[in-house]
């Protein structure tokens, strides 16, 4: 990226100050509102591994992959500020995760919804919950194959705050 492109982007990136230095966003002047974010991702398996996992209802020698991933996702959302340097610590009101087997893509789809009433949003918490849940599924199943792919982690929707967002 050339210097002029960097200068143009600095005015739109919230974590850069007017000098281009990294900064935590000052939310002290914002109004606390109810904010919610929904993120998704998936863990894709080779077809024979997917069939084996589904036939065992997600149970492995380590335990249930979805129950373990569910707990991991909740814990990760609560600790997002410890993982992402400029995130604010938030008193989360709700963290919900769901898991769905998808026979067409040989995958487990992961969905997370995070809610807070605060001065800043929870997009990063929802994305972190999905990411760590997917990583946990990978960890729980990697003994079966390393040809497992985590993909499609993205924000689907956010409400509250300055603007709403809906993935198209």
The answer to whether 147 and 76 have CB atoms below 8 angstroms apart is no
Asked about 139 being catalytic, the answer comes back as yes
88 among annotated binding-site residues: yes
Residues in the chain: 168
Residues 6 or more apart from 127 whose CB is under 8 A from it?
37, 39, 112, 153, 154, 155
Task: Establish whether 155 is an annotated binding residue.
Answer: no
H helices within 41-149, ranges in order?
47-55, 65-78, 80-83, 123-141
Angle of helix 123-141 relative to helix 65-78, nearest 10 degrees?
Answer: 150
User: Would you call 25 helix, strand, or coil by DSSP?
Assistant: coil
Residue 135 assigned ligand-binding role: no
Would the annotation count 124 as a binding residue? Answer: yes
Q: Name the catalytic one among 139, 147, 151, 164.
A: 139
Q: Give the closest residue to 95 by CA, choosing from 136, 140, 133, 65.
A: 133
Distance CA 125, CA 84 (A): 10
3 state SS of 16 = strand
Residue 81 marked in a binding site: no
Binding-site residues? 86-88, 124-125
Q: Which residues are catalytic?
A: 139
Binding-site residues for substrate? 86-88, 124-125
């Amino acid at each position: 990226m050339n210097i002029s492109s960097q200068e143009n982007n600095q005015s739109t990136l919230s974590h850069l100050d007017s000098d281009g230095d990294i900064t935590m966003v000052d939310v002290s002047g914002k109004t606390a509102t109810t904010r919610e974010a929904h993120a998704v991702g998936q863990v894709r398996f080779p077809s024979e591994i997917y069939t084996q996992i589904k036939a065992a209802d997600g149970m492995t020698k380590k335990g249930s992959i979805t129950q373990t991933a569910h707990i991991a996702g909740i814990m990760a959302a609560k600790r997002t500020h410890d993982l992402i340097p400029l995130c604010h610590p938030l008193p989360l009101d709700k963290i919900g995760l769901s898991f769905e087997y998808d026979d067409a893509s040989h995958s487990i789809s992961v969905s997370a919804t995070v809610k807070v009433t605060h001065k800043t949003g929870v997009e990063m918490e929802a994305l972190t919950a999905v990411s760590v849940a997917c990583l946990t599924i990978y960890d729980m199943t990697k003994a079966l194959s390393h040809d497992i792919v985590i993909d499609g982690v993205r924000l689907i929707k956010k409400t509250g705050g300055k603007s709403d967002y809906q993935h198209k």
